[in-house]
Amino acid sequence: MRTRSKALLVIGILVAVVLGSTVVMIGGIWLAARWVPGRALLTVEVAGSLPERVDESVFGELFGPRAVSMSELRGALVRARTDQGVRGVRVRVGELGAGFASIQEVRALLLAVSAAGKPTSAFLETAGEGAPGNLQYYLASACDTITLGPLGDLNLVGLGSRTPFIRGMLDKLEIVPEFEGIGDFKTARFLFTEKDHTPASREMTTWLLRSLSSQMATDLAAARKLEVEQVAALVARGPFSGDEALAAKLVDRIADWHTFAESTARQDGVELSEVPLRRYLRARKAYASGPAIAVILAEGSIVRGESGYSPVPLLGGDVMGSDTIARAFRQVQRDKPKAVIFRIDSGGGSATASEIIRQEMLRTSKEIPVVVSMANVAASGGYWITCGAQRVIADRGTITASIGVLSGHLATEEFWKNKLGVTYGKVDMTPNAMAFGDVGPWTAEQRALTLKWIGRIYDQFLDRVSEARKMTRAQVDAVGRGRVFTGEQAFERGLIDALGDMSVAVAEARALAKLAPDADVDLVYYPRLKPLWKRMLDKDDEAARLRATAEAFATGRVLVPGPLWLPPIEIR
């Protein structure tokens, strides 16, 4: 009965898609027909997490509006820069949960539009409501003018981070964290073993925040025509009311949305046609042409198997499956595009899975040039998989490196016994039969085996980075042992080839493919998104979630994805 219901639902959706596609096609033709050359105002709403890609088919909007994606923003703003039909860009900035590097890339896209002589304007209802507004304002500052809502605040208060340490909770539950790692800076294990930052983790978090704060202050100073020292002093004074922000020249105007929209819809006495981002993309899609450049998206914690979603504590979220990404590389080898951009957004995971992905990337690079483009994070296992690409590009605000290894588990035996009355009868044929799945603490021999194991993986990590970056092992070790850097810092240390966003990666791919610098290219994304009907009928993700949850509770191994991992760093 359930299968029949699902089938009927799918049929209904397919009918809706056919009708929806017809409406979209007619709407696109109608929209293109009513544009007046030189009179289009591209309108963009930027909010949410800014994922790299969303379902752009009609399916994607059947159940409500979908989030805007980075690929859509790139496609629209890059085209608008040279499109004679577009007169300017209007941006409405909402609540943002995006990474620092994503914000920087959107800023760069807007600055390029402005540099092409097309006015850009930003509207903020508020920049933070009882919360920091650093990132909202940072993005809006790329526009020529900023308008703040009448009751809006400008919570430009500087960057900070909060890292959760759960040792106190584990002690109350009688759960013993057992972890080993290479280097004081491989700090993920300290989330379980400590109650606050160690000196090394505090030092590392401080240098990351200092680098990002410097980048933001420099960019804000250039945008608002202030000195960097003035910006630093203003940030130290924040937050600001609307009037205070206006007096400090941080915004240009206080007005409501309708007043702002009416004023930006006219330029030099000419009435402009407002064109939303997705309508603009659909109407202009027919003009996309040029040689194909593949973009392989690799997002989330790295695991063996298929990509999906994990509910495991502290590692929940998107999962990058080695089988999925390796299969994407093999498909690219068959499709033979001019070049490949390997777009990575991952804090790491399994060393084995990372090496599976890296090997397939190396095989591809022998036939097709591969350029790595780091998004918000490409650290630990996320850095491992870059080793061997022809070029490695990171944005200034990317979090990267973390060349190090850790492993561990939570010994839950006393928790089960004393809190729930559950005891375990033990029968082992060898001393290490349950070394990787016991609920009890490590024996001395098992701890020694763990140290030997992670030491071997660290040596392999050093070898791969040394070969890829043309550095000695000693040089890699000096920037390794878990140290994390911003893209700017990584470039200074020779861990990447160049600083830049996706547009720089595309330019590098063009060059390696021996295409003209201004040649039009067609970016083709891999892995291909499953159709909605298939995702609705597919039970693989549900089964994977149940297995992951069961394994975590049964073994206490909350670090199921493996030994290469960056701790969560929330920067606001």
pLDDT single digits (tens) 265-306: 988 888 899 999 999 988 766 455 789 999 999 999 998 999
Assign 319 a pLDDT band (cuts: 50, 70, 90). Answer: confident
Alpha carbons within 13 angstroms on the beta-carbon side of residue 116 total 20
- Cα separation of 306 and 327, whole Å? 10
Model pLDDT, residue 253: 97
**pLDDT given for residue 233 in this prediction:** 97
Assess contact for 62 and 13: CB atoms under 8 A. Answer: yes
Q: How many angstroms from the chain centroid is the CA of residue 20?
A: 31
> Where is pLDDT greater, at 70 or 62?
70
Q: What is the pLDDT of residues 84-111, one digit of tens each?
A: 999 999 999 999 999 999 999 999 999 9
pLDDT at 316 over 60: no
**Cα 32 from chain centroid (whole Å):** 33
3-state secondary structure of 286: helix
Q: Give dist(CA 383, CA 520) in Å, integer.
A: 30
Residue 438: band (very low, low, confident or very high) from pLDDT cuts 50, 70, 90? confident
Write down the pLDDT at residue 57. 56
pLDDT of 285: 64
- pLDDT recorded at residue 75: 92
Q: 194: helix, coil or strand? A: coil
Q: Is the dihedral of CA 285, 290, 296, 299 positive or negative?
A: negative
Higher-scoring residue by pLDDT: 151, 61: 151
- From CA 373, how far away is CA 506, in angstroms rounded? 9
Band of pLDDT at residue 547, cut at 50, 70 and 90: very low
How sure is the predictor about 354, in pLDDT bands with cuts at 50, 70 and 90? very high
Residue 158 falls in which region: left (phi positive, over 0), alpha (psi -120 to 50) or beta: left
Query: Which band of pLDDT confidence, cut at 50, 70 and 90, is reported for residue 318?
Result: confident
Counting residues of the chain whose pLDDT is more than 90, the rounded percentage is 72
Most confident of 308-322, 431-445, 460-474: 460-474
Q: Which residues on neighbouring strands pair with residue 499, listed in sequence order?
A: 394
Q: What does the block give as tokens for 327? A: 């299969």
Mean pLDDT in residue range 161-172: 94
pLDDT at position 545: 47
Q: Which two tokens stand for residue 393?
A: 């590009």
At 288 the pLDDT is: 57
- pLDDT of residue 112 exceeding 90, the answer is yes
What does the angle CA 384 – CA 385 – CA 387 come to, to the nearest 5 degrees? 75
Per-residue pLDDT at 8 exceeds 90? no
Look-up: residue for tokens 């925040």?
209
Mean pLDDT for the stretch of residues 156-162: 93
Collect all residues with Cβ–Cβ distance below 8 Å to 328 and sequence separation of at least 6: 296, 526, 527
Beta bridge partners of 298: 344
Identify the structural domains of the chain with CATH numbers, from first to last.
35-157+238-286 (3.90.226.10), 292-403+482-571 (3.90.226.10)
**Res 24: pLDDT:** 44
Summarize pLDDT for 181-193 with one digit per residue, the tens: 998 999 989 999 9
The answer to whether residue 542 scores a pLDDT higher than 50 is no
Tokens 């290479």, located at residue: 182
Residue 11 confidence (pLDDT) above 80: no
Q: Span 411-440, mean pLDDT?
A: 91
Query: Taking residues 226-246, what's their average pLDDT?
Result: 97
Look at residue 283 in the predicted model and tell me its pLDDT: 76
Predicted confidence at residue 267, as pLDDT, reads 86
Segment 341-365 shows an average pLDDT of 96
% of residues, the chain, pLDDT over 70: 82
Q: Is the pLDDT of residue 230 over 50?
A: yes
Determine the pLDDT at residue 56: 60
| Mean pLDDT of the chain, nearest integer | 86
Q: Residue 158 contacts by C-beta under 8 Å, 6 or more apart in sequence?
A: 134, 213, 235, 236, 238
